[in-house]
Structure 1
């Protein structure tokens, strides 16, 4: 079974149980290493916002980074993050499956701990235009 399929299975189990077991964390740590530890810190600090446009319900995630600057990165958890690591480690070098921001978004969604922010579709379009 490939790594992405294993990860998808774990995310689905976490979401259905609305909790994370030690087994889940062990498997995710094998797949994602240090990025998982960093992602859990972001989730613990409530650094994951799900920004949803109204009335379309389209959404993007805004993840607060761990640096002192507390930079915010726009992210589609399964496909894209605007951070440097996404382009360097994932796209360029192919060394990781995803960045810590994508992991934080996936974990927060699975646990139901995202900060939900509702905006107009126009505001969401303006946010997306910055990408």
Structure 2
């Protein structure tokens, strides 16, 4: 990872933490995140605004992942662990293969929704989480 990418990730983490501490998103937060992530962040905000983020919390472990709705007409749902991976095509193409982006719009939507408390939350069994993860 380049020094610039590391600095961007650190700056974004500070913004996510600030949003999470107040459960509100300021214009300054939006400006910084847009500067760091560009069009992917714009798309992520649309997903959050449309209620497209669900957090699945496993019981009894407390482990979690997100299901994030895509923007296509099919409204596909992607499995997303915001800090690590997403099952969308863009994650594998733009991030893993080409290294052109730091994260996809679904990861950003999940991070924003979690920090702002703008997601629905569903409790499922750990077995259900394992089944979802095994389908990746």
Q: Could you list the structure 1 runs, at least 4 aligned residues long, displaced by more than 4 angstroms after superposition.
A: none
Q: Secondary structure at the match of 1:38?
A: helix
Q: Structure 2 unaligned segments of length 5 or more: list them.
A: 1-5
1:63 and 1:32 map into 2 onto residues whose CA distance is 18
Following TM superposition, by how much is the alpha carbon of 1:124 offset from its aligned partner in structure 2, in angstroms?
A: 1.2
Deviation sequence 1:48-79 (CA, Å, 0-9, x none)? 01011111111111000011000000010001
2:59 and 2:41 map into 1 onto residues whose CA distance is 32
Among 117, 121, 126, the alignment partner of 1:112 is 117
- 2:33 aligns to what? 28
- 2:86 aligns to what? 81
TM-score w.r.t. the length of structure 2 is 0.93
Question: What is the number of residues matched between the two proteins?
Answer: 131
- Are 1:19 and 2:24 matched, yes or no? yes
TM-score w.r.t. the length of structure 1 is 0.97
